[in-house]
Amino acid sequence: MNGDTKKPEVGFAQAYFATATRTLEVLQQRLVEMDRLTARGELTETESKFQGVLFEHGVDGARIGRIRSKGDAVLFGGKATRAMKKRWGAGDKPLFDFAPEIAIRAKQLGASITTHNVQENITMLLAST
C-alpha cells in the first residue's frame, strides 16, 4: 500500500484493495441488517402470539399496552418507550423498527416468557397490572 504510486501496478493494486475493502464492508453491513430484520420478523410473530393469548384471557388493548410498556421499561433499565423512541429517532413509528438486533432478541425473549407465564397463571398476572 505504500509503494510508488507512479508505477501502474502499484496504483492498480491500491485501487483494487480499496475497492475490495469497501465491498466487504458493505456486505458485512448488509448481513448485519438482514439478521436484524429477521429478528424483527420473529419478534412480530412472538408479539402476535402474546397478544392472542392475552385476548383469549380477556385482556383488552389498553391493558396489553400497559403490560408491554412495563416490559420495555424493564428491558431498557427503567427508561420508558417514549424515551427510547427519542434516543433511536423512531418518532411515531414502532420502536423495534429502529432497535439493534440484541434489543430485538431481548424483547422477543421477554415476550415469550410472558406468554408462557400467562398461559401458566393468568390470574396472578392480571392482579399485578
- Res. 106: pLDDT tops 60: yes
What band does 126 get if pLDDT is binned at 50, 70 and 90?
low
Report field, pTM of the whole predicted structure over 0.75: no
Distance of CA 34 to the CA centre of its chain: 12
Average pLDDT over every residue of 100-112: 94
Is residue 104 a contact partner of residue 96, using CB atoms and an 8 Å limit?
A: yes
- pLDDT score at 37: 94
